[in-house]
Chains A and B, each alone.
Chain A
């Protein structure tokens, strides 16, 4: 029987095109915000775990500086994943299952502005036969988009509709970096960049961070009036080789959803890590999401993509939607790798 674990508090920075101060300073402001909100001393939190990527700033061991942001004196029980903060949340959730500690602080952060993500992220691919070709995430997303078109699962208008809705939703998101009231017809007149993708099908380049405090059952109720319960969290991997995958589908998402017993009819909201507009269509179909589920009310990563916190921010946004009373049950999704290679799902529910 799994332990009941809930999100007690969360915080995020806006997505900045360029945040002109350090990554630890962003983290520090978020942790202080959480500490104040729940009236907890940072050093009374049992476990801390962060997700970040050295290559964004181009410095090996850059993550060590981030410890400044969340504090480590006196010493803390702490760990770090070189993955999106959503995977830090996953490890924290696993750790709290042991039942010997009550609270965990999770941070995801990244500043993409100093480097060139299109040149950096080919290094995520096979170092022998792929990275030297510069196969970048946008190109992989272009291949995924065409797989969708040619399988008949989507049209270019579907991509544009995703962008139009997301960018409109971003207008009411104070953390959004890119937002616009624009219709699909106008978008479809734009030229291609990685055909069949157009520039607006891509996320902006962003700096940003997000953080949250989670706690076990009684502790969660003690710390806040309206805990958001994590009903399950799972993540699954797909083959690294694009040619060994059906790019028009996301079997790893389906495996994770099945293992969590996700019932799409019960989901009021889904915050999906849609970095490229076709990804929403792949995910919607894999998760069998219907009209009852509001998708990406925040506008999603198309409105702000602070790499390494983008996934954790989906959990934050879903939790916010539930806490605001706009939803009872929701799903957050995080992704890593080219063309949705690695997918994480987290099922959230308000206190009923």
Chain B
């Protein structure tokens, strides 16, 4: 890990950077020396982190001898009050995809609308003198619940507003440049936000006519349809499906990427080395894993506060889990899970699976020792920055009796 300390000479970022760009005052500490001036004037972004990262990377690009790997991520801490900053490099990238197929019950109005889309029809709902499309359960002005009085609208309509999306995201319904438009369908009095497929931004304008095109595969979702310029529309013959759409599924899948924070990185390196590294807090106990701060004393903790804990602790409580099935759950059989507090730690470990001590021998107060896996088999894939569910990775092979007598129950910490 490389660490740089920066001393900034001006409290104003904007006017500071020109100096930096000319290679002027930059003090640093670290194992390589950022020496090459870096031209960032062409860059839109004058964010301190990016500039300094680029500056340091220019050096490390040459020194870094890990071909085929992404360059290390450089992080910058900057305190305007003290004008002190630090750049650190983490070797622990983490990523996670938050994904779930939500099953939405659209209710009697949107349900009918989605049923219509599946069947190649676009339905509006009558609200007084107006036809609302997409339909709503209530009148938008009076908030009165509407009767289920549906009317076919479209399939053509008029663009009332549009924006051309030059670079669609993976969440957009069309994976090439397209327009989002507000379309007022023939027979409707309100507009619908939807996607228009056109050859380019010059092919779309306010007031132009568009026509609905239904997808080959329709599932009873708003994505069953899209729009094209009226002249480009193909005549479609759609077979209606069976029954009403009562569920519309929306799979939400969001990627998150980060790198382990400095204290988490040291904790993770410890796990790979077969050590439990925590941080000593001001009350004398050890936070494991450390959080980078002491919440009770309200102070920041640093590498100097790191301490190694013995792999020995006491069972405070346990339970048998009959796993409940949900997406992502891989456990199927009941298993014993224990609340263990390592000697010297200020709080318990997240529940630890106990797979090799029989349930009837297991008891509160029992003294256990962690037996690490061989170094090559240890992984920290599930270690992240989140202290609320702090994983200790897949580094412990199993927990075994330490051979010591049980801790008397009245000496157990109350905190479980």
A contacts, CB < 8 Å to B: 14-22, 24-25, 28-29, 31-33, 42, 55, 57-59, 61-62, 64-65, 68, 71, 73, 113-116, 118-120, 122-123, 127-136, 139, 142-143, 145-147, 150, 170-180, 191-197, 199-200, 204, 239, 241-244, 247
Contact = CB atoms under 8 A, between A and B. Distances in A.
Nearest to B170: A119
A132 B47 contact: no
The 8 A-B pairs with the shortest beta carbon distances in the complex, nearest first, are A142-B163, A20-B75, A171-B14, A134-B171, A243-B191, A68-B295, A195-B164, A58-B256
A133 B257 CA distance: 24
B298 A28 contact: yes
Contacts of A19: 75
A150 B50 contact: no
Interface in B169-185: 169-173, 180, 182, 184
B258 A113 contact: yes
Q: Which of A113, A192, A193, A243 has the most CB of B within 10 A?
A: A243
Contact of B256 (A16, A57, A179, A243): A57
Given A115-B256, A119-B171, A129 B110 contact: yes
Interface in B155-170: 160-167, 169-170
A102 to B, nearest CB: 22
24 contacts: A14-B48, A20-B73, A20-B75, A25-B291, A62-B386, A71-B298, A127-B250, A128-B106, A128-B222, A129-B113, A131-B250, A134-B169, A134-B171, A139-B180, A142-B163, A142-B164, A146-B162, A150-B206, A179-B14, A193-B165, A194-B163, A241-B136, A243-B184, A243-B190
B18 to A, nearest CB: 10
A64 B388 CA distance: 8
A19 B90 CA distance: 13
A286 B190 CA distance: 24
A192 B182 contact: no
Nearest to B89: A20
A128 B298 contact: no
SS class of chain B's interface: helix, strand, loop or mixed?
mixed
Given A14-B13, A115-B256, A132-B223, A150 B161 contact: yes
Contact of B46 (A116, A179, A243): A179
A43 B388 CA distance: 23
A119 B90 contact: no
B88 A20 contact: yes
B254 A200 contact: no
A119 B295 contact: no
Given A20-B77, A65-B388, A130 B222 contact: yes
Contacts of A171: 12, 14-15
B222 A132 contact: yes
Interface in B62-110: 73, 75-81, 88, 90, 96, 98, 102, 104, 106, 110
Given A129-B110, A143-B182, A146-B161, 7 more contacts: A17-B50, A20-B76, A129-B222, A177-B46, A195-B163, A242-B182, A247-B161
A134 B161 contact: no
A116 B182 contact: no
Most buried by A among B45, B163, B166: B163
Contacts of A196: 163
Contacts of A150: 161, 206
Given A16-B49, A143-B180, A193-B167, A135 B193 contact: yes
Contacts of B296: 73
A120 B96 CA distance: 14
B49 A17 contact: yes
B365 interface: no
A176 B201 CA distance: 34
Contacts of A33: 81
A143 B292 contact: no
B259 interface: yes
A127 B160 CA distance: 23
Contacts of B256: 57-58, 114-115
B293 A119 contact: no
A146 B163 contact: yes
Contacts of B171: 118-119, 122, 134, 136
B293 A28 contact: yes
A115 B90 contact: no
Contacts of A129: 110, 113, 134, 192-193, 222
B30 interface: no
B46 to A, nearest CB: 6
A26 B75 CA distance: 14
A204 B50 CA distance: 12
B255 A115 contact: yes
B195 interface: yes
A196 B223 CA distance: 25
A134 B172 contact: yes
A128 B12 contact: no
A342 B106 CA distance: 25
A242 B293 contact: no
B366 interface: no
A34 to B, nearest CB: 12
A186 to B, nearest CB: 11
Contact of B257 (A21, A114, A131, A239): A114
Contacts of A172: 12, 14-15
A323 B88 CA distance: 36
B44 to A, nearest CB: 7
A243 B193 contact: yes
B258 to A, nearest CB: 4
Contact of B254 (A120, A142, A243): A120
B262 interface: yes
